[in-house]
């Protein structure tokens, strides 16, 4: 790909899906801003990208902080290049049944997933529309279809799908596409933590999930990175406002 003059911004890039997405986009030729709450935590990802001959920048910011996001995006534009791709991947879970869920746990999930994606998209869209080219990829989830114990997370991920479709309508005429990826069960620290909360060995949880997936395995971060790579590329210019379920089988 001829993307050496373009910059991609990946939130939640310190580990898991975000780290693999950042490294894949760098391999595709993008300069990559690895954004996370803890800037130091992105050091390994940045070193891996630079070690492979790419350009990368670690940026620490709370994506739900309006002023922080604006400052971070301005820094990225000045030090790495004006953002052409945004991958809103930052996320947290605060799982509980509805009657046990606190307002703080509801708000925390909404702030990171929805407010964070809104603030990041709003901050980068000016660069994209001015350039006449841009790609926004929001990470949703199969939980958007409903998942016991995740009323906050499910609502946030469903909200991201509506947000994505609206961005596609508003930004399409400026050469900017917006799409969402909805992963199924992906082997990450987050799903491992879920197993721990459930008191179930992670391997057992994965085996149970794989038995319900048509392709017979659980997903890996690189599966999502492949999908992001396509949606962020030149070839996806006529794909916008879509939700791609990367879950090993059909979802409804």
121 near 164, Cβ under 8 Å?
Answer: no
For the beta carbon of residue 51, count every other beta carbon within 10 angstroms. Answer: 9
What are the distances in angstroms from CA 198 to CA 205, 209, 219?
A: 9, 14, 20
**Chain centroid offset of residue 35 CA:** 11
3-state secondary structure of 136: strand
Tell me the HSE value of 107 on the side-chain side, using a 13 A CA sphere. 3
**153 is annotated as an active-site residue:** yes
Cα separation, 74 vs 87, in Å, equals 17
For the beta carbon of residue 4, count every other beta carbon within 10 angstroms. Answer: 11
Cα separation, 174 vs 131, in Å, equals 8
Helix residue ranges per DSSP H, 28-150: 43-51, 66-79, 103-110, 116-131
Q: Six-digit token pair at 35?
A: 């954004």
Indicate which residue of 30, 127, 153, 163 is catalytic. 153
List active site positions: 153
């Amino acid at each position: 790909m001829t993307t050496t003059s373009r910059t991609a911004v990946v939130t939640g890039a310190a580990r898991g899906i975000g780290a693999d997405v950042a490294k894949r986009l760098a391999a595709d030729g993008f300069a990559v801003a690895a954004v996370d709450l803890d800037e130091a935590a992105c050091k390994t990802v940045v070193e891996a990208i630079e070690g492979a001959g790419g350009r990368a920048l670690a940026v620490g910011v709370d994506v739900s902080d309006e002023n922080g996001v604006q400052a971070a995006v301005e820094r990225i534009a000045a030090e790495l290049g004006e953002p052409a791709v945004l991958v809103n991947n930052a996320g947290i879970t605060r799982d509980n049944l509805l009657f046990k869920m606190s307002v703080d746990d509801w708000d925390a999930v909404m702030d990171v997933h929805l407010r964070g994606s809104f603030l990041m998209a709003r901050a980068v869209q000016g660069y994209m529309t001015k350039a006449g080219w841009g790609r926004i990829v929001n990470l949703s989830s199969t939980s958007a279809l409903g998942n016991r114990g995740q009323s906050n997370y499910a609502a946030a991920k469903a909200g991201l799908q509506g947000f994505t479709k609206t961005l596609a309508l508003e930004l399409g005429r400026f050469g900017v596409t917006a799409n969402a990826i909805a992963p199924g069960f992906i082997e990450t620290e987050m799903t491992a933590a879920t197993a721990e909360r459930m008191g179930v060995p992670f391997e057992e949880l994965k085996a149970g999930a794989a038995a319900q997936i048509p392709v017979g395995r659980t997903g890996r971060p690189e599966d999502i990175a492949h999908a992001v790579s396509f949606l962020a590329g030149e070839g996806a210019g006529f794909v916008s406002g879509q939700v791609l379920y990367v879950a090993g089988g059909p979802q409804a």
